[in-house]
C-alpha cells in the first residue's frame, strides 16, 4: 500500500501516526496538492490528501476513512472501540479535532491571498470555531489521562494533530497557556515515537 501525503498536512499526519501505531508497512509519496504538477487528483477527484492506494490499485480518501480502514487491518494497538457509545465518543472527538483543523487551514489559505482580497469577517468566524473547539476540548478532557475512557485511542491522535497544527501555523493562539490540560496532553503525546517521527516540517 502507498500513502500519499504532504509533510505539513495534519490530516496526513493523523494517517501516518495510525500507520505507525498499527505497525503497518507502507510506501510514502510526498505530493503537495497546491502545486501545479501535483498528481493527487489522479487518485482523489477532490484533490485532497491523504490518499491511501491499496495493493489492488483502489484508493481511499478522507483521513477518517483511511484511519478506520487501517485500524481494522491489524489487531495490534486497537485505536477504535469496536462498537457502542465508546466508539461514538471517539468519533465525536475526531470530528471536533478535524473541524478545528478545517477552520485553521481555511485561515491559512485565506491569509495567502493579497491583503485587499482577504475577508476579515470570514477569518474571524474561523477563529471563533477554533476558540470554541479548544474550550470544549479542554472542558471534556478535564484532568483525565486520555480523551475517551482509560486508554489511548484515535481521539487522542486526532486532538494531538489539531494541536500540533496550531503550534506550527498559529503562534498567535496561546492555547498552551489558556488550556494547560491540553498542553499537558499534547506533551504526553509527543513522548510517543509515532508523534515524534511525524512532527511537521515546513
**HEC assignment per residue over 7-46:** CCCHHHHHHHHHHHHCCCCCEEEECCCCCCCCCHHHHCCC
Segments forming the whole domain that contains residue 26? 2-73
Q: Are residues 94 and 178 in the same domain?
A: yes
- Indicate if the pLDDT at residue 76 is higher than 90: no
Euclidean distance between CA atoms 49 and 120, whole angstroms: 27
Last residue of a domain, one of 73, 93, 125: 73
Q: Are residues 91 and 182 in the same domain?
A: yes
Q: What is the average pLDDT across 70-90?
A: 93
Q: Are residues 65 and 96 in the same domain?
A: no
In a domain, 202, yes or no: no
In a domain, 47, yes or no: yes
Which pLDDT does position 107 carry in this prediction? 97
In a domain, 159, yes or no: yes
Which pLDDT does position 202 carry in this prediction? 80
Last residue of a domain, one of 73, 100, 119: 73
Last residue of a domain, one of 50, 73, 96: 73
Per the CB < 8 A criterion, the answer to whether 166 and 175 are in contact is yes
190 contacts: CB under 8 Å, gap ≥ 6: 160, 196
Which pLDDT does position 168 carry in this prediction? 97
What is the chain's mean pLDDT, rounded? 97
Q: What is the average pLDDT across 5-19?
A: 98
Q: Are residues 68 and 110 in the same domain?
A: no
The CATH number of residue 10's host domain is 3.40.30.10
In a domain, 116, yes or no: yes
Q: Are residues 141 and 122 in the same domain?
A: yes
Q: What is the average pLDDT across 108-116?
A: 93
Residue 163: Cβ within 10 Å count: 26
If one counts the domains in the chain, the total is 2
Q: Are residues 44 and 111 in the same domain?
A: no
Which pLDDT does position 83 carry in this prediction? 81
Which pLDDT does position 15 carry in this prediction? 99
Which pLDDT does position 102 carry in this prediction? 98
Q: Are residues 30 and 67 in the same domain?
A: yes
Q: Are residues 181 and 157 in the same domain?
A: yes
Single pTM value for the model: 0.96
Which pLDDT does position 201 carry in this prediction? 79
Q: Are residues 53 and 104 in the same domain?
A: no
Which pLDDT does position 64 carry in this prediction? 98
Q: Are residues 52 and 127 in the same domain?
A: no
Residue 2: Cβ within 10 Å count: 15
For the stretch 42-69, pLDDT in tens is: 999 999 999 999 999 999 999 999 999 9
Q: Are residues 154 and 56 in the same domain?
A: no
Q: Are residues 19 and 102 in the same domain?
A: no
In a domain, 197, yes or no: no
In a domain, 201, yes or no: no
Which pLDDT does position 160 carry in this prediction? 99
Q: What pairs with residue 60 in β-bridges?
A: 52
In a domain, 199, yes or no: no
The CATH number of residue 186's host domain is 1.20.1050.10
Q: What is the average pLDDT across 100-118?
A: 95
Which pLDDT does position 21 carry in this prediction? 98
Amino acid at each position: 500500500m502507498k500513502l500519499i501525503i504532504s509533510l505539513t498536512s495534519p490530516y496526513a499526519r493523523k494517517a501516518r501516526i495510525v500507520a505507525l501505531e498499527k505497525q503497518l508497512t507502507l510506501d510514502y509519496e510526498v505530493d503537495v496538492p497546491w502545486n501545479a504538477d501535483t498528481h493527487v487528483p489522479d487518485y482523489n477527484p477532490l484533490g485532497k490528501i491523504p490518499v491511501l492506494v491499496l495493493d489492488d490499485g483502489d484508493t481511499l480518501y478522507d483521513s477518517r476513512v483511511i484511519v478506520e480502514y487501517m485500524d481494522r487491518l491489524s489487531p495490534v494497538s486497537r485505536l477504535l472501540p469496536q462498537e457502542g457509545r465508546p466508539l461514538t465518543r471517539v468519533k465525536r472527538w475526531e470530528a471536533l479535532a478535524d473541524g478545528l483543523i478545517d477552520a485553521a487551514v481555511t485561515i491559512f489559505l485565506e491569509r495567502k491571498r493579497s491583503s485587499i482580497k482577504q475577508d476579515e469577517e470570514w477569518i474571524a468566524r474561523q477563529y471563533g470555531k477554533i476558540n470554541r473547539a479548544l474550550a470544549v476540548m479542554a472542558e471534556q478532557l478535564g484532568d483525565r489521562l486520555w480523551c475517551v475512557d482509560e486508554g489511548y485511542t484515535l481521539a487522542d491522535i486526532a486532538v494531538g494533530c489539531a494541536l500540533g497544527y496550531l503550534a506550527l501555523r498559529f503562534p498567535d493562539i496561546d492555547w498552551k497557556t489558556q488550556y494547560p490540560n491540553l498542553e499537558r496532553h499534547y506533551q504526553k503525546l509527543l513522548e510517543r515515537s509515532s508523534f515524534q517521527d511525524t512532527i511537521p516540517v515546513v
